[in-house]
Amino acid sequence: MCGIVAYVGNKDAYPIIIKGLKRLEYRGYDSAGVAIGNDSGITTLKQKGKVSDLEAYISIKDTSGSIGIGHTRWATHGVPNQVNSHPHNSSDGKLSIIHNGIIENYASIKTALETKGYTFKSDTDTEVLIHLIEDVKKYENVSLFEAVRIALDEVVGAYAIVVMEDGVTNEFIAARKGSPLVIGIGCDEYYIASDATPIIEYTKDVVYLEDGEIARVNACEELEIKTIDNEIKTAYIHELEMSLDTIEKDGFTHFMLKEIYEQPKSILDTMRGRINPDNNEVILGGISNYEQKIMNANRIIIVACGTSWHAGLIGEYLFEDFARIPVEVEYASEFRYRNPIIRETDVVLAISQSGETADTLAALELAKEKGATILGVCNVVGSSIARLTHAGIYTHAGPEIGVASTKAFTTQVVVLTLMALRIGKQKGMLSNTNYHQIITELALIPRKVEEVLKTNSQIEIIAQQFMDVSNFLYLGRGYNFPVALEGALKLKEISYIHAEGYPAAEMKHGPIALIDDEMPIVVIATKKGNYEKVVSNIQEVKARGGRLIAIVTEGDKTVKDIADYCIEIPNCFEELTPLLTNIPLQLLSYHIALLRGCDVDQPRNLAKSVTVE
């Protein structure tokens, strides 16, 4: 989704902004632009395509100036082209804006401005907003700070914006509602960005703007923050814990591959401090004050989107198995609009890597309004969801840059496993022996993931056989049904091959009609669970000529005799198999996408952090 970078201080702004935009590329975008201010005015330069296209376009132009704003745009209103790219200027060219989000009432504001004689060059809601700010500033005769406040009071929607003014080379105005904005504090300089990745190499001191806050950011002064309702606020400075090497490729060809390989470590980081080695007990400080509420909950409603929703499905199996609490897993986008029944005895648990997904956030707000206890499982520390919830658990996977989620998914499943174990134990639903056996097994998972990663070269060979197909079917049962869904999603996202995930037994109610000798089918057939039943499903596929890739438990003979290709995972409890079976599917997608020449880390049309509906 759109990325924002801005700099004001004593350095040249342009290189900082371009580098920052590159750091934000992972969020997904289709055009980019910058506006740089100096004593001769504001120069606005934009281009469709990648940041490197923008750089090539700018190469011989003057970019001197110590204040500037930059933007990567993920098209919402209007096609991705140069005119619709940000920054957008006011009609007199004196103000320039970058914006992430959607102004929902832009059409009525536009009509009102048109009757006043304003004309518009682009199709965007953002250009409407900067004209509105210009209009307020002119007719109310107020400062830019005040004009932004008054204009935003008229606006319905979500935004993170930065506005700069011609002739003011040491100050800009920033505001947020619904879309994140981080302000980095340097020495007589400030950095602004959609997330901390462009800021981390310059400063660790940051202020997260809260919803409805506007900041006057002047290089030589302290931050001045007020709300849209004109209430003065104090800036709270946080120290970033992220380090630069976590957002670089570190010798890997792609972030996605790096993140797949990081999983043994990220799983360990997720479990760190949460399993007491002395007594093999799970301790979850993040939810300890809400443990009773969870134990007494009539049901747990999990809300999430995309890959996080798949983790939620695994959570359903875990909570129902270990804690015997009924669970519903909902697409946040559907839940929020369907007048759901939410009771005060419900626990609503949001799962989100970014912690910023607009639909998940809105679903939680609704649940909070209705009096439910709201919890979060997020990766990004300090994110909007993390701040909204009553309590929660961070996954601690480290920054995930590849758009296709890998380590975030695995660590979400680890957190859900720990939660279900803890609550199950406290409720007396798990025997001591069972509980401790699972914890012991969980501690072995990072080493087992390392084993699975050794299948990489085998998977590369399998990928070569399937790089040209048009469709894939993924099948799994029980705990591995959500893994089949996730495997199919991963392939779609990065290789653009159509893929569907199905519960293996449902195959005969439809997808079986698709099977012929062209159709590859990925089946997860681990030794536990419904192994024999899955073997029958495999036979049904084979009888119709389908080409089979099977994920099996080491030493398996039955499936090996039937399938065309088998990838082995180490033996482990059925409940923990998703942590292993999911890895070969990530690698398979990666290699197929690579062989097809796709942009693995930044697949077309996708965004990492979906901050609009």
Binding site for ligand G6P (CB under 6 A): 305-308, 352-354, 357, 360, 403, 405, 606, 608-610
Looking at beta carbons only, is 529 or 603 nearer to ligand G6P?
603
Determine contact, residues 579/449, Cβ cutoff 8 Å: yes
User: In which residue are the tokens 């290189």 written?
Assistant: 15
Q: Using CA atoms, how far apart are residues 335 and 346, in angstroms rounded to an integer?
A: 14
Looking at beta carbons only, is 58 or 332 nearer to ligand G6P?
332
C-beta of 321: minimal distance to ligand G6P in Å? 24
**CB contact set of 561 (below 8 Å; sequence gap of 6+):** none
Strand (E) or helix (H) holding 120:
none
C-beta of 510: minimal distance to ligand G6P in Å? 26
C-beta of 307: minimal distance to ligand G6P in Å? 3
Looking at beta carbons only, is 67 or 588 nearer to ligand G6P?
588
**CB contact set of 222 (below 8 Å; sequence gap of 6+):** 235
C-beta of 562: minimal distance to ligand G6P in Å? 33
Looking at beta carbons only, is 85 or 405 nearer to ligand G6P?
405
Strand (E) or helix (H) holding 8:
strand 3-8
Q: For the CA atoms of 124, 384, 613, 86, what is the dihedral angle to 10 degrees?
A: 20
* Amino acid identity, position 525: A
Looking at beta carbons only, is 493 or 568 nearer to ligand G6P?
493
Q: Using CA atoms, how far apart are residues 542 and 49, in angstroms rounded to an integer?
A: 45
Does the active-site annotation cover 2? yes
Q: Using CA atoms, how far apart are residues 418 and 275, in angstroms rounded to an integer?
A: 9
C-beta of 306: minimal distance to ligand G6P in Å? 3
Burial 289-300 (b: 16+ CB within 10 A, else e): ebbebbbebeeb
Determine contact, residues 484/476, Cβ cutoff 8 Å: yes
CA-nearest of 529, 528, 511 to 520 is 511
Strands (E) located in 242-324: 275-276, 281-282, 299-304
Q: Using CA atoms, how far apart are residues 163 and 6, in angstroms rounded to an integer?
A: 10
C-beta of 406: minimal distance to ligand G6P in Å? 9
Tell me the pairing of strands 346-352 and 373-378: parallel
C-beta of 525: minimal distance to ligand G6P in Å? 26
Backbone φ and ψ of 431, nearest 5°: -70, 155
Half-sphere exposure of 171 (CA within 13 A, CB side): 14
Looking at beta carbons only, is 360 or 577 nearer to ligand G6P?
360
**CB contact set of 374 (below 8 Å; sequence gap of 6+):** 347, 348, 349, 350, 364, 367, 368, 388, 389, 390
Strands (E) located in 13-94: 31-38, 41-48, 67-73, 88-89
C-beta of 308: minimal distance to ligand G6P in Å? 4
Q: Using CA atoms, how far apart are residues 611 and 356, in angstroms rounded to an integer?
A: 6
Which of 2, 305, 378, 572 does the annotation list as catalytic? Answer: 2
Looking at beta carbons only, is 134 or 269 nearer to ligand G6P?
269
Which of 46, 258, 448, 608 does the annotation list as catalytic? Answer: 608
C-beta of 605: minimal distance to ligand G6P in Å? 10
Looking at beta carbons only, is 414 or 567 nearer to ligand G6P?
414
Q: Which residue is nearest to ligand G6P (CB)?
A: 306
**CB contact set of 361 (below 8 Å; sequence gap of 6+):** 178, 350, 384, 385, 388
Looking at beta carbons only, is 547 or 608 nearer to ligand G6P?
608
Active-site amino acid positions: 2, 608
